Homo-oligomer: A and B are copies of this chain.
Amino acid sequence: MNNDILIINSTILPLSHKEAELIEKGFISITDGAISALGPMTDLPDSSKASKTIDARGHLAMPGLVNTHAHAPMSLFRGLADDLPLMTWLNEHIFPAEAKSVNREMVYWCSKLAAAEMILAGTTTVADGYFLEDSVAEAFTDCGIRSVVAQGVIDFPAPGVPDPAQNVASASQFIDSWQGRNELIIPAVFCHSPYTCSPETLKKAKEMARQKNAKLFVHLAETKFEVEQMREQHGTTPVRYLDSIGILDNDTVCIHCVWLDEEEIEILAKSGAKVSTCPQSNMKLGSGIAPLQEMLSAGISIGLGTDGCASNNTLDLFSEMDLCAKLHKVRDLDPTALPAEIVLEMATLGGARVLGLEKDIGSLEPGKKADVVLLDVNQPHLQPFYHPDLLVYAASGADVSTVIIDGKIVMQDRQILTQDINETMKKVRKLADCF
């Protein structure tokens, strides 16, 4: 057997089932970008060879994490304006900062920074939404991170789309340009929200996305204020509104979904729409707590998202998992609420399902893409290691030592191999000088 990469002597958490079962000492064979075999070391054929062998003693291998919502270029605004009222933050800081700084160069370099940050924290797939998304796709291609990149649509002049009348056409061109172009990039459309896109824009974008078999992302029911605004403008609530104009289906990903009533959860579930939850962003901006348990009970697929760096302020899904599990326990005053295993699934196979990629990624199984992360668990804060729950309640992104995406090693021993990270940080710091 001739493999490209052979990982040996690793603890393995395949996460192919809901139960988080460990292989104590195992191997993973990677060939042509995919997992060709995995199992206990005792099952490794003597004849196994590989171009590269990684002895992963003291490490745990798990599927790469899936971030279902980010705005990569916003890494430039990380911590630029914290602890402010939402409208002050948005209107006096984030919007002016965007007006001042967003261009192709900024989008490219800040997306590279974000990609490095995500890879260093064990994220192998990200769903991104922004403007000039072409440059995000180029940056992600260069960094070797798998992504669903969604071109922003909004009914205002936007970077790269000065005429809002062209917003859907622009997203359509973006999708045409990237569909099938490379293995890692899946193009999509990102309608900013029902309060910044008219019903006509939303319908046109959804129709276009349907024709191209592409996902549509939309911020939805993030704040109480949004619900009130929607009631005033359309006489109904956000989910009912999107449902009434035919936006919700299997290929729609609704981001946030904090303020939903019971019936709206039913509507979402029936529609097949997926949900991306961003608990840290919802906490930091004081938006609220999404009804995750209720949505899961209704059978809705939920993935975890970090949101952009302006409102979190990191892209670390490990801390997102920890905080998500704890937040929902304290919401219900119930330590059994949202157990670690459920959250671990939301960050892996659940996230893959949200992006329609569950056949390819989200778990370690023969035939799936080789998106694998190795964590150094031989550290004081991860010992003793009784149970994979510890990945939720004790691990952090910094524990990830090696990352393989699509069968390629993109980070090894905490060194990013796909870009000169010092050059990227320098470029971004220079861009930050204008603030």
Binding site for B on A (CB under 8 A): 75-76, 78-80, 82-86, 89, 113-114, 116-117, 120-121, 224, 280, 282-289, 312-316, 319, 322-323, 325-327, 329-330, 332-337, 339-340, 378-381, 383-387, 389-390, 393-394, 396-399, 421, 424-425, 428-429, 432, 435
Contacts and interface: CB of A to CB of B under 8 A. Distances in A.
A319 B316 contact: no
Contacts of A340: 82-83
Contacts of A429: 383-384
Contact of A335 (B280, B284, B396): B284
Nearest to A387: B79
B393 A82 contact: yes
A260 B86 CA distance: 30
Given A84-B336, A398-B399, A390 B78 contact: yes
B339 A83 contact: yes
B386 A327 contact: no
A323 B330 CA distance: 12
B336 A83 contact: yes
B288 A117 contact: no
B117 A380 contact: yes
Given A75-B380, A82-B393, 19 more contacts: A78-B384, A79-B384, A79-B390, A79-B394, A82-B387, A82-B389, A83-B325, A85-B335, A120-B381, A285-B329, A285-B335, A286-B330, A286-B335, A287-B330, A313-B390, A314-B393, A315-B381, A378-B425, A380-B424
B78 A284 contact: no
